[in-house]
Structure 1
Amino acid sequence: MKLYFEGPVIIVALIIYIVLLLYLKFKLNKGLMYLFFFSVFYLYITQVVRYTQFPITYIPEMYDPLSVLRHNINLVPFQNLEINLKFMFLNVLLTIPFGFLLPLIAQITMRKVLLWAFLLPLIIEATQLIVGISTGYRHRIFDINDFIMNGLGVLIGFIILKASIKVMFKIFDQSHINQNKLLNYIAKR
């Protein structure tokens, strides 16, 4: 049996999104720019979940959680480097938007970015391992290389945002930034 990120899973994600959006708008009085960036961030997170966790496969006759623990954990960094370069690059690329978008919806200091650069990869990799143990299926692994590259991607995304804001201030004068709602919102980050 395989569970894909489609149908019922998308409906649940959509319901969660709508509830969160209504809460942010009516309970926390968030503005349209915030809701826009929150929506982009939520869509991004759903795609990260889709890419890193799905499909979830369960084959009862192959259920062997101990086998998953033995074969689905790599704690040796940069092993088989020539094989993994493409995946390492893709793991960095996967989390750059997180580091870029998170400061647009939350007050983030460099210390918090470093914390998220640790937590996000841990959540992704641990969830993959837990799903693997729960289903007995050895498709996804807890890989220290993915963990390192995902963390690096978060940091790169944050640096890109901060550099973009500096460039924005060099290109546009303050009055233009103040008049443009999007630029003004970003500039305050």
Structure 2
Amino acid sequence: MRMYFEGPVIIVALIIYIALLLYLKFKHNKGMMYLFFFSIFYLYITQVIRYTQFPITYIPEMYDPLSVLRHNINLVPFQNLEINLKFMFLNVLLTIPFGFLLPLIAQVTMKKILLWALLLPFIIEVTQLIVGLSTGYSHRIFDINDFIMNGLGVLIGFLILKASIKVIFITFDQSHINQNKLLNYIAKR
């Protein structure tokens, strides 16, 4: 059996999204700009899950969690660099949006973003390992290189946001920023 990020999984993700939007709008009285960035962030997170966790395969006849432990864990950083450079670059790209978008929906300091730069890759990699051990088969590897590159991507995304905010203040005068809802929202981060 192989489960993809489609059909029922998308429906569940959509139901969760709608419930969260309603909760944020009516329970916490969040504005449209917040809900806009929350929606982008939610869509992004679903795509990270889709890319990093799916497909999930379970073949009872081939159930072998020890094989997952033997063949799907890399704890040696920067091994086989010539093969992995492309994937390392893609892992950085994967998490840049997280570092950029998170401060637009939550109060994030540099200390918190450093924590998220450790926590997000940990969640991704450990979840891959848990799914592999649970099903006895994994399309993914618990890879220290992915962990490092994902963390780097979070930091780069945060720095891009901070640089963008500086550019907004350099490019536009305060009255223009105040009149533009998007610029005003971003500039306040």
Relative to the length of structure 1, the TM-score reads 0.99
Shift of 1:175: 0.4
Q: Deviations 1:6-59 (Å, cap 9, x if unpaired)?
A: 000000000000000000000000000000000000000000000000010111
Q: Distance in 1 between matches of 2:177 and 2:160?
A: 19
What letter matches 1:14 in structure 2?
L
Alpha-carbon RMSD:
0.5
What letter matches 1:24 in structure 2?
L
Q: Distance in 2 between matches of 1:102 and 1:139?
A: 28
Q: Distance in 1 between matches of 2:165 and 2:138?
A: 43
Gapped runs of 5+ residues in structure 1? Answer: none
1:56 lines up with 2:56 in the alignment? yes
Q: Which runs of 4+ in 1 moved over 2 A?
A: none
Shift of 1:71: 1.3
Shift of 1:138: 3.2
Relative to the length of structure 2, the TM-score reads 0.99
Question: Which residue number corresponds to residue 129 of structure 2?
Answer: 129
Q: Distance in 2 between matches of 1:27 and 1:125?
A: 33
The number of equivalent residue pairs is: 189
Q: Distance in 2 between matches of 1:74 and 1:27?
A: 44
Shift of 1:171: 0.5
What letter matches 1:133 in structure 2?
L
Gapped runs of 5+ residues in structure 2? Answer: none
Q: Distance in 2 between matches of 1:111 and 1:71?
A: 35
1:33 lines up with 2:39 in the alignment? no
Q: Deviations 1:135-171 (Å, cap 9, x if unpaired)?
A: 1113211000000000000000000000000011110
